[in-house]
Chain A
Amino acid sequence: MNLTLKIWRQKDSDTKGQMVDYKVTDISEHMSFLEMMDVLNEQLVNAGEEPVAFDHDCREGICGMCSMYINGEAHGPDRGITTCQLHMRMFKDGDTITIEPFRAAAFPVIKDLVVDRTAFERIQQAGGYISVNTSGNTQDANAIPISKHAADEAMDAATCIGCGACVATCKNSSAMLFVGAKVSQYALLPQGQVEAADRVKNMVAQMDLEGFGNCTNTGACEVECPKGISLDNIARMNRELMKANIS
Chain B
Amino acid sequence: MALDSKVPKGPIKDKWTDYKNHIDLVNPANKRHIDVIVVGTGLAGGSAAATLAELGYNVKAFAYQDSPRRAHSIAAQGGINAAKNYQGDGDSTYRLFYDTVKGGDYRSREANVYRLAEVSANIIDQCVAQGVPFARDYGGLLDNRSFGGVLVSRTFYAKGQTGQQLLLGAYSAMNRQIARGKIEMFNRHEMLDVVKVDGKARGIITRNLITGEIERHSAHAVVIASGGYGNVYFLSTNAMGSNATAAWKIHKKGAYFANPCYTQIHPTCIPRSGDYQSKLTLMSESLRNDGRIWVPKNMDDVKAIREGRKKPTDLSEEERDYYLERRYPAFGNLVPRDVASRAAKERCDAGYGVNATGEAVYLDFASAIERYGKEQAKIQNIENASEAKIYELGQAIVEAKYGNLFQMYEKIVDENPYKTPMMIYPATHYTMGGVWVDYNLMTTVDGLYCIGEANFSDHGANRLGASALMQGLADGYFVLPYTIGDYLSQDIRTGKIPTDTKEFDEAEKEVKDRIDFFINNKGTKSVDHFHKRLGKVMWDKVGMARNEKGLKEAMAEIKAIREEFWKEVKVPGNADEMNPELEKAGRVADFLELGELFAKDALVREESCGGHFREESVELDGPQKGEAKRNDKDFAFVSAWEYKGEPADAVLHKEELEFNDIELKQRSYK
Contact between chains at A148 and B138 (CB < 8 Å)? yes
Residue among B122, B133, B276, B526 making CB contact with A35, cutoff 8 Å: B276
Q: How many A-B residue pairs have CB under 8 A?
A: 213
Report chain A residues within 8 Å CB of B161: 62, 159
Contact between chains at B572 and A50 (CB < 8 Å)? yes
Report the stretch among A184-192, A214-222, A234-242 that lies at the interface. A184-192
Contact between chains at A51 and B572 (CB < 8 Å)? yes
Residue among A31, A34, A63 making CB contact with B72, cutoff 8 Å: A63
Residue among B50, B139, B210, B407 making CB contact with A145, cutoff 8 Å: B139
Of the four ranges (under 10, 10 to 19, 20 to 34, 35 or more), the interface on chain B belongs to 35 or more
Chain A residue at minimum C-beta to C-beta distance from B525: A46
User: Is A205's beta carbon under 8 Å from chain B?
Assistant: no
Interface SS of chain A: helix, strand, loop or mixed?
loop
- Taken residue by residue from 143 to 174, chain B's Cβ proximity to chain A (1 for < 8 Å, 0 otherwise) reads as 00000000000000011010011001001110
User: Is B578's beta carbon under 8 Å from chain A?
Assistant: yes
Report chain B residues within 8 Å CB of A186: 131
Report chain B residues within 8 Å CB of A133: 54
- Known contacts being A57-B65, A63-B75, is A32 close to B133, with CB within 8 Å? no
**Whole-angstrom distance between the alpha carbons of A57 and B70 in the complex?**
8
Residue among B72, B276, B577 making CB contact with A57, cutoff 8 Å: B72
**Whole-angstrom distance between the alpha carbons of A88 and B151 in the complex?**
43
Contact between chains at A11 and B179 (CB < 8 Å)? no
Q: In chain A, residues 80-131, which have Cβ atoms closer than 8 Å to a Cβ of chain B?
A: 80-81, 85, 87, 89, 110-111, 114, 116-118, 120-121, 124-126, 128-131
Contact between chains at A124 and B172 (CB < 8 Å)? yes
User: Is A19's beta carbon under 8 Å from chain B?
Assistant: no
**Whole-angstrom distance between the alpha carbons of A120 and B185 in the complex?**
14
Residue among B50, B278, B411 making CB contact with A85, cutoff 8 Å: B411
Q: In chain B, residues 473-497, which have Cβ atoms closer than 8 Å to a Cβ of chain A?
A: 477-478, 481
User: Is B581's beta carbon under 8 Å from chain A?
Assistant: yes
User: Is B7's beta carbon under 8 Å from chain A?
Assistant: no
User: Is B128's beta carbon under 8 Å from chain A?
Assistant: yes
Q: In chain A, residues 26-80, which have Cβ atoms closer than 8 Å to a Cβ of chain B?
A: 28, 30-32, 34-35, 38-39, 42, 44-46, 48-51, 53, 55-65, 78, 80
Contact between chains at B126 and A138 (CB < 8 Å)? yes
User: Is B414's beta carbon under 8 Å from chain A?
Assistant: yes
Contact between chains at B168 and A58 (CB < 8 Å)? no
- Taken residue by residue from 146 to 181, chain A's Cβ proximity to chain B (1 for < 8 Å, 0 otherwise) reads as 111001101100110110000000000000000000
Report chain A residues within 8 Å CB of B478: 134, 136
How many whole Å from B334's CB to the nearest CB in chain A?
24
Residue among A35, A49, A142, A146 making CB contact with B278, cutoff 8 Å: A35
Report chain A residues within 8 Å CB of B282: 60
Contact between chains at B125 and A132 (CB < 8 Å)? no
**Whole-angstrom distance between the alpha carbons of A97 and B135 in the complex?**
41
Residue among A60, A139, A154, A191 making CB contact with B281, cutoff 8 Å: A60
Report chain A residues within 8 Å CB of B210: 110-111
**Whole-angstrom distance between the alpha carbons of A125 and B477 in the complex?**
20
- Known contacts being A28-B274, A139-B125, is A65 close to B66, with CB within 8 Å? yes
Q: In chain B, residues 41-77, which have Cβ atoms closer than 8 Å to a Cβ of chain A?
A: 47, 50-51, 54, 65-67, 69-72, 74-75
**Whole-angstrom distance between the alpha carbons of A130 and B412 in the complex?**
37
- Known contacts being A51-B580, A141-B128, A158-B168, is A134 close to B51, with CB within 8 Å? yes
How many whole Å from B436's CB to the nearest CB in chain A?
26
Residues on B lying within 8 angstroms of A by beta carbon are: 47, 50-51, 54, 65-67, 69-72, 74-75, 84, 86, 119, 122, 124-131, 133-142, 158-159, 161, 164-165, 168, 171-173, 175-176, 178-179, 185, 187, 210, 237, 239-241, 273-274, 276-279, 281-282, 407-408, 411-412, 414, 477-478, 481, 526, 528, 570, 572-573, 577-578, 580-581
Pick 13 A–B contacts, CB within 8 A, sort by A. A28-B276, A32-B412, A42-B528, A45-B526, A58-B72, A63-B72, A128-B175, A138-B125, A140-B125, A141-B124, A142-B142, A151-B135, A189-B131
Known: A62-B74, A148-B136. 8 other contacts (CB 8 A): A12-B578, A111-B210, A132-B126, A132-B173, A136-B122, A147-B136, A148-B140, A161-B164
